[in-house]
Chains A and B, each alone.
Chain A
Amino acid sequence: MADDWRYEPAADLKVPWQKRPSSELREAGLTGGLGHWLCCQLIGAYLRARHPLTVIGREHLPTETPFVLVANHASHLDVLVLQSLFPEHLSGRIFALAAGDYFFDSSTKSLAAAQLVNALPVWRGKGTRHALAHLRERLVRGSSGFIVFPEGTRSRDGQMQPFKPGIGMLVAGTEIPVVPCTLSGTFAAWPPDTRWPGPGPIQVTLREARRFADRKNQREEWVRIAGELEALVAGA
């Protein structure tokens, strides 16, 4: 028998429009989607011109939602490179989780973050757990894929930092595939303390997806999951 039709209304349907740009429930509609698609084309052209890209393990790249891609984070280039890997039909459905207080503290920055990399704000502090629960629900509903940098911030010296347990909260006890990914070359091309990126080759290594369906959704498991993913991304 054929599957029933699935209707999945926009996640931000009930969010008042003024609050949508800075909501973790935001979803790109047609205009936002078109803007993001155009940005992706421009960014893709820039990356091809200045950053020769090698992808190892491309067969591990998700082709359908939902999924989580976790990577080390040392540069603003990271998210641009990762977004550019995905096939076009997923455009607008892959979101980069970004710090709300850094990327969404003004409306111009919110717009840029949303258009350029389809960022979703995660507000650090009190609301984090609530936001992560929202994001987890959203993953389970099926139409979104997330790019997550579990270190929580860009590395200042290029060395990978410990992963925060929040990543575990997103996926513990679910069938969501988590793809570990190692980026190198982005720190050299555009370290956090410089204003503009320089040229340089970039290498992306994708590894086989992990699932954490058999894990309990509780703190010890979150920490353990974060540790396992950290080891995979580090290439151990």
Chain B
Amino acid sequence: MSDTSWTRLLDPRGAFADPFVGWFVAGVVGLLGAAYGVTFALSLSGKISAARQREILLRLHSWAVLIPIMLLPLLLGAFWMILGMLLLSVFCYREFARLTGQFRNFRVSLWTVASIGLVYFAVLDKWNGLFAASQVLGVVFIAAGGLYVDQPKGYLQRVSLGVFAFLFFGVSFGHVAYLCNDLEFRPILLLFFLAVEMNDVFGYLFGNLFGNRKLCPNTSPGKTWAGSLGAIAATSLLVLGLGPFVFSGMLASPFHLLVLGLTVSVSGQLGDLVMSSVKRDIGVKDTGTAIPGHGGLLDRFDSLLLAGPAFYHYVNFFHGIGTEEPDRLFTLVTGG
């Protein structure tokens, strides 16, 4: 394996080589500080109630923990980021399995987690062929694993839930992790996470300011057309504005950046609706209690479900992911 690969995987010294990363970290820390400041200022001047202040502070505290947890692996190196995404996949699966009762189908559950592991092995090895194959093999393993007790009763449910979970929490998040195989993974991932998270925030803001007509009241009563369209416009502009600092070549053109922003915004919102539908179908409000003020992990990361693959494939098609390094870092044994 080349020095370039080792550096990308494990060397934090190059973390701030791209000025975008430094600006980003400073910006996020500044924003969080400003949010605390504004909250305290508003409560001191009596503009918001004590209860509202507590609620906002709870969310901010969660962010103050989440942001370092998300940033630190990214700064340390691609290996840590891939490991972090693997943990996210597994814990999101755990939440999903506990919600649906899927965890009682022990063998299918094991095959689902093993298949998620295979996807991440391909990611870490930068083995594009296996990355593609693992997505199909996972489905094979789960469908075959579902046969375990010679009990056709419930087969379709246990296998479908397993495949659904594998595709969303393994394959989808795996695409986000695969972005780590680009030498420029830090700015690319930061732009992606920022766009997805701000997309939520924009939706919330525009919805509150102009929201009138409901988007789909049965699935997610809080969503409005104004919020959705406002988020699409704002997120596209955000990616258009920051994109030139991250991408070069064809993808840096305004047209492509606008389309990329649009793609992330629409797929992010759809991912949100997917998880809302799942929750309503099962009949729960939050997916868990992992993050105070936010709910479960799935409530926080639902926007990544569809945006991950959409963003990955757009960037891969017009820019390429990891084109500077050869594939198969660990598994390729060369004679030389």
Q: Tell me the A residues contacting B by CB distance below 8 Å.
A: 5-10, 13, 16-17, 27, 29-30, 33-34, 37, 87-89, 91-93, 143
Contact = CB atoms under 8 A, between A and B. Distances in A.
A5 B102 CA distance: 11
B113 A89 contact: no
B151 A10 contact: no
Interface string B94-110: 10011111011011011
B148 interface: yes
Nearest to A33: B106
B282 A7 contact: yes
B149 interface: yes
B110 A34 contact: yes
A115 to B, nearest CB: 15
A139 B281 CA distance: 23
Interface residues of B, number: 23
B290 to A, nearest CB: 9
Contacts, number: 57
B157 interface: yes
Contacts of B99: 7, 9-10, 13
Given A16-B289, A30-B113, A7 B103 contact: no
19 contacts: A7-B100, A7-B101, A7-B282, A9-B98, A13-B98, A13-B284, A16-B289, A17-B289, A29-B94, A29-B103, A30-B97, A30-B110, A33-B109, A34-B110, A87-B149, A89-B151, A92-B104, A92-B106, A143-B101
Nearest to A28: B103
Contacts of A93: 104
Contact of B94 (A6, A30, A87): A30
Q: What secondary structure prevails in chain A residues at the interface with B?
A: loop
B99 to A, nearest CB: 5
B149 A33 contact: no
A68 to B, nearest CB: 18
Contacts of B106: 30, 33, 37, 89, 91-92
A145 B216 CA distance: 41
Given A9-B284, A16-B289, A30 B151 contact: no
Contact of A29 (B98, B148, B149, B289): B98
A137 to B, nearest CB: 15
Contact of B107 (A8, A10, A89): A89
Interface in B258-300: 281-284, 288-289
Given A6-B157, A37-B106, A91-B106, 14 more contacts: A6-B101, A7-B282, A8-B104, A9-B284, A10-B98, A10-B103, A13-B288, A29-B94, A33-B106, A33-B109, A89-B106, A89-B148, A89-B149, A143-B101
A38 B103 CA distance: 17
Contacts of B97: 29-30
A229 B315 CA distance: 68
A84 B190 CA distance: 51
Nearest to B161: A5
A140 to B, nearest CB: 15
A3 B148 CA distance: 21
Contacts of B110: 30, 34
Contacts of B288: 13
Contacts of A92: 104, 106
A48 B148 CA distance: 24
Q: Which 7 A-B pairs have the closest CB atoms?
A: A8-B101, A89-B149, A10-B98, A7-B282, A5-B157, A7-B100, A9-B99
A9 B149 contact: no
Contacts of B101: 6-10, 143
Interface centre among A5, A8, A91 (most CB of B within 10 A): A5
A34 B113 CA distance: 12
A27 B97 CA distance: 12
B282 A9 contact: yes
Nearest to A93: B104
A30 B107 contact: no
